[in-house]
Structure formats: structure tokens, C-alpha cells
């Protein structure tokens, strides 16, 4: 059984942005027992991390620019999804309202049809029309 971990993307982005600025690059290590170092591209080539494998070093270096970008895109996507969900809910509410109004109109049309088919008086027809107009006007 897997448990989903919920992340706070704003906090994750703040963590990314608090790190030494990038871009970072990897290079063979000359200072430690590790095989690779992740360095900041500046005059002193500030060492940010050391890694045993090139894949780990590449991950660390790429994460500096990649993760903030991915997090921003995720935040934008969540925002867009939320806006679309709000819009869908409004459309569903409108559809429900229209379905109710449609059913009400159908019911009144059926009443008017019956009054007409039975040959009821003009007064009965006027009452049925008045009921319809009152309900439609509400």
C-alpha cells in the first residue's frame, strides 16, 4: 500500500530559490574522494555538492534549474485546473437550472394542450396561461 505524500509547492520553490544561484555544472572531482563535483559557474567554481556517480552529479546540477521550473509549471497547472473546475461547476449549475425551467415549461405546455383539447372555456385557457406566465416570470 502506497501513501501519497502531499508537498507544499510554495515551500518547495522557496527551498530551491534559497540555494546558491545557478546554473550548476558537473565536473570530475579533484578535491575529494568523490568522482564528480557539482559546481556553480563563476570565477571560483564554487563546489555545491560532490557525488560518486555521474548520474547523481547530473541530477543535482540539473535540479538547480529544473525543479524551480517544474514547480512553477505545476503551480500554474493547478491554478488553471482550479479555474476550469470553477467554470465547470458554474456550467453544471446553469444546466441544472435550464433543465428545471425546461421541465416547468413542458409541464405548462402539457396543461395548455389539455385545456385546449378538452375544449375548455377561454377563461380556463386564460387561467392556465396566467399560471404559466407567473411561474416563468419568477
Domains of the chain: total: 1
- Domain residue limits at 81: 9-137
Which pLDDT score is estimated for 57? 93
Nearest to 68 by CA among 131, 11, 128: 11
Q: Is residue 1 part of a domain?
A: no
Place of cell 538547480: 64
Q: Is residue 129 part of a domain?
A: yes
Side-chain half-sphere exposure of 110, counting CA atoms within 13 A: 6
pLDDT over 90 (residue 23): no
Average pLDDT over residues 21-31: 85
Q: Give tens-digit pLDDT for 49-87.
A: 899 999 999 999 999 999 999 999 999 999 999 999 999
Cβ 75 vs Cβ 9: under 8 Å: yes
124 against 58, higher pLDDT: 58
Amino acid at each position: 500500500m502506497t501513501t501519497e505524500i502531499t508537498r507544499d509547492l510554495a515551500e518547495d520553490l522557496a527551498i530551491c530559490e534559497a540555494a546558491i544561484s545557478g546554473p550548476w555544472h558537473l565536473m570530475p572531482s579533484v578535491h575529494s574522494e568523490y568522482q564528480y563535483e557539482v559546481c556553480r559557474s563563476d570565477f571560483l567554481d564554487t563546489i555545491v555538492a560532490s557525488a560518486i556517480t555521474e548520474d547523481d552529479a547530473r541530477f543535482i546540477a540539473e535540479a538547480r534549474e529544473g525543479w524551480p521550473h517544474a514547480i512553477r509549471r505545476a503551480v500554474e497547472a493547478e491554478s488553471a485546473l482550479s479555474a476550469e473546475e470553477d467554470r465547470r461547476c458554474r456550467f453544471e449549475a446553469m444546466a441544472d437550472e435550464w433543465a428545471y425551467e425546461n421541465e416547468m415549461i413542458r409541464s405548462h405546455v402539457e396543461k395548455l394542450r389539455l385545456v385546449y383539447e378538452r375544449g375548455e372555456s377561454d377563461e380556463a385557457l386564460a387561467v392556465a396561461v396566467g399560471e404559466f406566465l407567473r411561474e416563468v416570470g419568477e
